Every structure is written in C-alpha cells, then in structure tokens.
Chains A and B, each alone.
Chain A
Amino acid sequence: MAATEDKRMAPTLFEFICFMVTGARGLVDEPAAYGPFRLIDGTSRLIEALDKAGISDPFAARLRERIEEGKTLARDDREAFVGLIDELAVELARELKRRRG
C-alpha cells in the first residue's frame, strides 16, 4: 500500500464528512425543522463512526442509544423532540463536570 494511503481516515469518518457537507447543502432548501434533526442524527452517526474506527466512549454510546430511541420524535412530536435535546444537553453538562480533573 502506498504511503499516502496509510494517512487516509477511517472510511466511516469519511462517510460522516460526506453526510455533513451534503446535509448542509440540503438544508438550504429543506424545511427549517430538518436542521435540528440532521444535527442530532449527525451526532449519532459520528458516535457510530468513531466507534467503528476504534474510538469508543461508554457515555457517548449511551447518548447514541437515547438519540436512536427518540429521533423519530422530530417527525411525530416536535415538543417532545425539543425536550429530548434539552435533556441531552443538560446530561452533557453533567458529564463535563464529572470529567473534570
């Protein structure tokens, strides 16, 4: 394998980059409500991509489970979806405090 090929990122991470860039362009024309969904779905995809690339984190894994359980709320119950995002944000803050040295 050529030396330059060794420096490529894991395929799953490259896929994530493709998702983000194409998603950004799509959102220019798509309904505004798609934006939060793309970001939360993107969060889940990033966690999965990192895990497949050998970078795992138990907290992130639990976060992804909650996102996967609740992300269809974006379509079915906007208020509940917003509530889910608010809960996840506060849990991130709690985890930040726990990880302080």
Chain B
Amino acid sequence: MDREQLLELMTGRRSVRRFRDEPVPGPILDDLITAALAAPTGSNIQSWQFIVLDQPGQVDELNMLSPGMFGSPTAAVVIAIDQNRCRELASRVGEVVGIMDVAMAAENIMLTAHGLGLGTCAIRSFHPGAVGELLDLPEHITPELIVSIGWPDEEPGQPPRRPIEEVVFYGRYGG
C-alpha cells in the first residue's frame, strides 16, 4: 500500500447507517477482531471485552435497545470494559484509560472494515443496563461502545469539519 492509498483508506471512512441485507462472513469478522486486538492499550492492561453478534436476530435485539443504531446492520461488536481489571491494574486512571483503549480498538475495527468494503458506525447511544442484561454481562463488565457492521447501502459524503487552523497548532497552542 503506498502513501496515497493509505491516506485514502484513513480519510475515506464514513459512518454508515444503511446496510444491505447480506451477512458478514465469519472470517471477515475474525479479521476485524484481529485488528481490534492490535490496538494500543494503556500499560497493556487490555481491560477490553468484545462481544460479536452475527446471528440472525441478535443484532435486531441489540438494535431495539440502542436508539443510536440506524438501519439494519447484519453484524455488530459490543466493546465492553472489565472494570475490576481496570481498578486492579490501573488504579484511578483505569476508567479513563479503559475508555481510550475501547475507542482505539473501535477505530481499528472501523478502518479495517472500510478497507474490506464494509460500512460501520460507532454507537454510544444505547442503554448500558439493558444491553448488559441482553448479553448476560456480569456486573463488572460494562458495555461502552457498539460498532455496527454491514455491507453499505449508501455512500455518505464527508461531514463538515472545522477548519484545520482552528484545531491544529505546532509548537504551542495557537502556534
């Protein structure tokens, strides 16, 4: 992959909210999980837990408890944090670091999916208690982010972005 192709991959990802009614093959989901597990994790704590949903009906049930999920994706990954592991290994910063790790793993999933022609959307608008109940999560395993996955039935344009000079500085803030 050359520099141009790499930048095209990194900047071409979009949040997809309409999907074709076509399953995502297991080996492809395995690739997404492989990519997720390669993400950075603070102090290598790896407090993450991944619940992969790809059977008929499973994602539909999750959808019912997730107002932020749109369309009918045929797969999803629920990324959770083992709060006990966070507290034991990372003390007071554990919770924040755990969430950062979840986000980085999710981005790996989404970029890999984009490279393989899939569409994804990161979803925080769901009821954690209800999703925990649905997935039989123990109390100390808290769902933090859902990534919906499927074959896209739309090609969203780039959403508006703030001008680069408002958000990027060199050397010091405002520089």
Contacts and interface: CB of A to CB of B under 8 A. Distances in A.
Interface of A: 86, 89-90, 92-94, 96-97, 100-101
Given A93-B134, A97-B134, A86 B65 contact: no
B64 interface: yes
Nearest to B65: A93
Contacts of B57: 100-101
Nearest to A97: B134
Interface in B40-79: 57, 61, 64-65
Contacts of B65: 89, 92-93, 96
A96 B64 contact: yes
* Chain B interface bracket (under 10, 10 to 19, 20 to 34, 35 or more): 10 to 19
Q: Identify the 3 closest CB pairs spanning chains A and B, nearest first.
A: A93-B133, A93-B130, A89-B130
B133 A86 contact: no
A86 B127 CA distance: 8
A32 to B, nearest CB: 16
What is the predominant secondary structure among interface residues of chain A facing chain B?
helix
Contacts of A97: 133-134
Nearest to B135: A93
15 contacts: A86-B127, A89-B127, A89-B129, A90-B129, A90-B133, A92-B64, A92-B130, A93-B127, A93-B130, A93-B131, A96-B61, A96-B65, A97-B133, A97-B134, A100-B57
A96 B130 CA distance: 10
B84 to A, nearest CB: 21
A27 to B, nearest CB: 15
Given A90-B133, A97-B134, 4 more contacts: A89-B65, A93-B127, A93-B130, A96-B134
Nearest to A86: B129
A42 to B, nearest CB: 13
Nearest to A92: B130
A86 B64 CA distance: 15
B71 to A, nearest CB: 19
Contacts of A94: 133
Contacts of B64: 92, 96
Interface string B117-147: 0000000000101110110000000000000
